[in-house]
Copies of this chain bind each other. A is one copy, B any other.
Amino acid sequence: MKGVILSVNPSAAIVDITHHVDPQDIFQAASIIHCSFRYFPEGTTHIVVVDPGVGSDRAIIALRRFGHVFLAPDNGVLTLLYDEAEVEPAVQVDNQDYFLKTISQTFHGRDIFAPVGAHISLGKDIKSFGKPVSHKDLVRIDIEKPYISKAGELIGAIVWIDRFGNLITNIEFRTLNEFCRSDVKKNCRVIIGSNTIDELSENYANIKSKRPLAIIGSRGYLEIAVNCGHAAEYFGAEKGDPVKVICR
C-alpha cells in the first residue's frame, strides 16, 4: 500500500495508526479511528481498511468531516463519523480510473484504497471518485452503549483488550460524571466479575505493583488495568464481559 501511495504522491507523509485491530472487529476499528483522527493535521486522508467483506459487493465510501477525509469500506467502520446534519454527502467510490489496473480479490487496500487515498491526499475532490450518497444510506453498526439497570447500576462492557492487557470499556468519563454526580473519583466503585475496585485512580504511579486500578484512559473511557501487570489475565476477563459501576 505504501509503495502505491508513494507512486501517486511521492511526498505523502504516511503514518500507520494500527495494525492490531482484532480480526473482523469493525466496532473496535470504528472506535480507534474516531479517537485518533483529531490528533492529525486538518486535511489528513484516513484510509481505514478493516474489510472482512473484501471482494464481495460491499461498496467503498469516502466522506469529509471535521476537515479530514475518510476512505473505508461501507461496513459501518465510519459509523461514529456520520453527520446527522449531513452538511455534505458521502461518495460511493467506483471510478476505476483511479484504481490499479489489476484488482485482486483479497487486497483492495493495495489495489483501490491506496491509489484513491493518494489522489485525495493530492487535493483531488472526493466527488471525482463516484456518486454522492446520503449518510443515512450508509451501513451503520450498533454501538453498544452503557445503560442504567433497575438496581441503579451503570452497566457497560469491555469493548477491547489492548496489547498490555488493559480492559477498555464503553463507559465515557462524562457518562460516569453524570451518573455519579459528586466527586466521581472517590465515590464510584467499579465491579468486574466478583471483584470491586474502590475508586478511580489519577495515574498508575500511586498504585502498588501488580494491584488493579480503574482509570480514565487516554481515549476518555473507563479502563481497568493492573499496574505492571496484565488485567485480562488477572481478572480472567474477555471482550464483551460486563463492567458495572456503583456510586456510593
Contact = CB atoms under 8 A, between A and B. Distances in A.
Nearest to A223: B106
A15 B104 CA distance: 22
A55 interface: yes
A85 interface: no
A203 B15 contact: no
A6 B40 contact: yes
- Choose among A4, A13, A14, A24 the residue with the greatest number of B CB atoms under 10 Å from its CB: A13
Given A54-B205, A58-B205, A44 B218 contact: no
A44 B40 CA distance: 22
Contact of A7 (B6, B40, B205, B220): B40
Contacts of A6: 13, 15, 40-41
Q: What's the number of copies of this chain in the assembled complex?
A: 3
Name A's interface SS. Answer: loop
A201 to B, nearest CB: 8
Nearest to A228: B24
A118 to B, nearest CB: 11
Interface residues of A, number: 42
Nearest to A36: B3
A138 to B, nearest CB: 18
Interface of A: 2-4, 6-7, 10-11, 13-15, 23-24, 36-37, 39-41, 44, 52-56, 58, 104-107, 110-111, 164, 202-206, 215-218, 220, 228
Closest CB pairs A-B (n = 9) = A55-B203, A107-B218, A56-B205, A3-B40, A3-B39, A104-B218, A7-B41, A2-B15, A53-B205
